[in-house]
């Protein structure tokens, strides 16, 4: 139980990534606070975690809403005593963003992810850090796929938005690690188990005039392992990074791309 007595807030917990990480945190002993926009989905996940012996609470929170995030974190600290882990896994619909050449992409569609992802991560990380710095401990985590590092066509504003998150990760660590707060980014392939990547692969396949299966095979063949990262792999690594066993990790990106990116 490497996360015993830890309190973790997961933003975007109703999505595939957030839910998988929440389950892993709870499995390893953390008390998880699940946030997102769909309370029904969050409550179902909390019930699942409770049935497995874990502890979970839910709240309908928009990670873009500075006041709502701050109020919720204050409530968590009042109730639980500390905030030890903050994991942001928010996402936005990809239709109208990916699968479109830049020359045909509207400025509004290009700018949407750039305006959304860095803002939401800054809001949640800054709010958590204010409490963690007082504690002299805590871990802030985020997730990006491989286009954050690679030049991948037809990803619109997503690639620069994800790259910005990795830049934020380094900046957060530079300011907060000396005060006991670690920040780590987990970088994966697109995960085929998620509904989002199913949509994304379909958008790209349509743009190239091939089947979704053909596009997926082409993507997977770029990795050394010839397969995608799984949700379980991401969640297990997230639980390790959040634990005291990973105390030396900060300001870095954990590479889970299976060799698509080699550092």
**What is the DSSP-derived secondary structure letter of residue 146?**
G
Closest to 215 measured CA to CA, from 225, 231, 202, 228: 202
What is the per-residue pLDDT across 111-153, written as a single tens digit (0 to 9) for each?
999 999 999 999 999 999 999 999 999 999 999 999 999 989 9
Is residue 1 predicted with pLDDT exceeding 90? Answer: no
- Domain assignment present for residue 220? The answer is no
Following DSSP, what letter does each residue of 231-248 receive, concatenated?
HHHHHHHHHHHHSGGGTT
What is the per-residue pLDDT across 13-39, written as a single tens digit (0 to 9) for each?
999 999 999 999 999 999 999 999 999
- Domain assignment present for residue 16? The answer is yes
- Domain assignment present for residue 30? The answer is yes
**66: domain range?**
7-191+229-256
| Residue carrying the six token digits 């809403």 | 65
Looking up residue 76, the CATH number of its domain turns out to be 3.40.50.720
- Domain assignment present for residue 196? The answer is no
Mean pLDDT of the chain: 96
d(CA 136, CA 112): 35
Residues 6+ apart with CB under 8 A from 15: 36, 89, 90, 91, 194, 196
d(CA 251, CA 247): 12
| Residue carrying the six token digits 């005593």 | 81
- Domain assignment present for residue 198? The answer is no
Is residue 175 predicted with pLDDT exceeding 90? Answer: yes
What is the per-residue pLDDT across 43-70, written as a single tens digit (0 to 9) for each?
999 999 999 999 999 999 999 999 999 9
How many structural domains comprise the chain? 1
- Domain assignment present for residue 217? The answer is no
d(CA 110, CA 160): 10
- Domain assignment present for residue 263? The answer is no
Q: Which pLDDT belongs to residue 255?
A: 97
Share of the chain above pLDDT 90, in %: 98
- Domain assignment present for residue 60? The answer is yes
């Amino acid at each position: 139980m490497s996360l015993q007595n830890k309190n973790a807030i997961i933003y975007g917990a109703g999505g595939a990534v957030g839910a998988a990480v929440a389950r892993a945190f709870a499995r390893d002993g953390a008390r998880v606070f699940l946030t997102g926009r769909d309370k029904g989905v969050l409550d179902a996940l909390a019930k699942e975690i409770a049935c497995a012996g874990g502890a979970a609470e839910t709240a309908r929170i928009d990670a873009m809403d500075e006041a709502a995030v701050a109020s919720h974190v204050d409530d968590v600290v009042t109730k639980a005593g500390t905030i030890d882990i903050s994991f942001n896994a928010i996402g936005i619909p990809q239709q109208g963003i990916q699968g479109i050449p830049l020359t045909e992409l509207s400025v509004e569609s290009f700018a949407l992810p750039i305006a959304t992802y860095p803002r939401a991560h800054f809001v949640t990380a800054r709010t958590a850090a204010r409490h963690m710095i007082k504690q002299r401990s805590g871990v802030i985590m985020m997730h990006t796929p491989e286009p954050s590092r690679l030049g991948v066509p037809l990803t619109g504003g997503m690639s620069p938005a994800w790259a910005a998150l990795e830049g934020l990760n380094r900046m957060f660590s530079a300011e907060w690690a000396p005060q006991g707060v670690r920040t780590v980014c987990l970088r994966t392939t697109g995960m085929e188990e998620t509904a989002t990547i199913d949509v994304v692969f379909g958008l790209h396949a349509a743009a190239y005039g091939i089947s979704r299966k053909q596009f997926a095979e082409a993507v997977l063949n770029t990795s050394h392992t010839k397969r995608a990262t799984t949700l379980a792999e991401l969640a297990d690594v997230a639980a390790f990074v959040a634990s005291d066993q990973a105390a030396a990790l900060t300001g870095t990106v954990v590479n889970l791309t299976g060799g698509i990116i080699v550092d």
